[in-house]
Amino acid sequence: MTSYIKKSEWVKTEILDKVGWVELCHENPLNPLSAGFVEAIYESCKSFDEDPSVKCIVLIGSEKAFAAGADLKEMLPLSFAKISEIRYIEKNWSYFSNIQKPIIAAVNGFALGGGCELAMSCDFIIASEDAKFGQPEINVGAIPGAGGSQRMPRYIGKSKAMYAILTGDMIDAYEAEKCGLVAKVFKSDEFKENIIKISSKIANKSSALARLAKESVNLSYETPLQEGLRAERSIFMSTFALEDHVEGMTAFAEKRKPDWKDK
């Protein structure tokens, strides 16, 4: 594989109440993640990130799977030299962390391998009760390559992450919530309704403040504590330059809902 075609037809997008929905709809309901599919997913998220009418992004799969892994048929012919040359992982996979707006992974069914890595690259994960997570790459002659061995320990700790990656065993939705991989779990028939509620709640905050809050939290994973605290103070003080800072404080004092200007 020297090149690939972006698979935009496998991604559906729509805007509902200031929330940009990115739905993975591969012709295979397990949503295998080929390079062209991942590019289409990222480009859809990036488009919403740049759209001022969108204030939150939801990434959601099919009822059967968020994404059950990378497209192994595409990967099988690749040599070490070729996978390095074409930047198979660096391109697109690594770009999701550049999204500035809040982005939620809404997981039904399987989120395995690359699917679990894609979900973990979002800001947080909401799962239906039938969701299953895992990094089973060791079962097919590989290891996680798009962030699994780095993000999973940060979510659930070294011991549980090491167990999951070395055994290839899946983690069910409630265990994933218990260990911190998932923020919330909902019954299947209430899943979509609650995703709408949560994303709408975020979308109705100040996007300027949400962007800074997201930046500050992400710093905690990338810096030592003292450096992170200094950065947090700087970001906190920068909020005093925002119109939304004044509006939020004034609205609280006047006991009314704030009228956010997103600036």
Residues assigned a catalytic role:
70, 114, 117, 137
As beta bridge partners, residue 40 has none
The C-alpha atoms of residue 117 and residue 111 are separated, in whole angstroms, by 8
Q: Which residue has the tokens 């660096």?
A: 90
Q: Which residue has the tokens 């999951």?
A: 164
Pairing mode of beta strands 171-172, 132-134: antiparallel
What is the C-alpha R_g of the chain? 19
Structure tokens at 105: 């992974």
Write down the H helix ranges in the chain: 35-49, 72-75, 80-85, 114-120, 148-156, 158-167, 173-178, 191-203, 207-219, 225-238, 243-253
Q: What is each CA distance from 155 to 116, 147, 152, 158, in whole angstroms?
A: 12, 12, 5, 9
Other Cβ atoms closer than 10 A to 222: 11
Q: What is each CA distance from 66 to 42, 55, 109, 130, 140, in whole angstroms?
A: 15, 22, 6, 11, 20
Q: Which residue in 105, 119, 25 sits closest to 64, CA to CA?
A: 25
Category of 109 on φ-ψ map: left (φ > 0), alpha (ψ -120 to 50) or beta: left
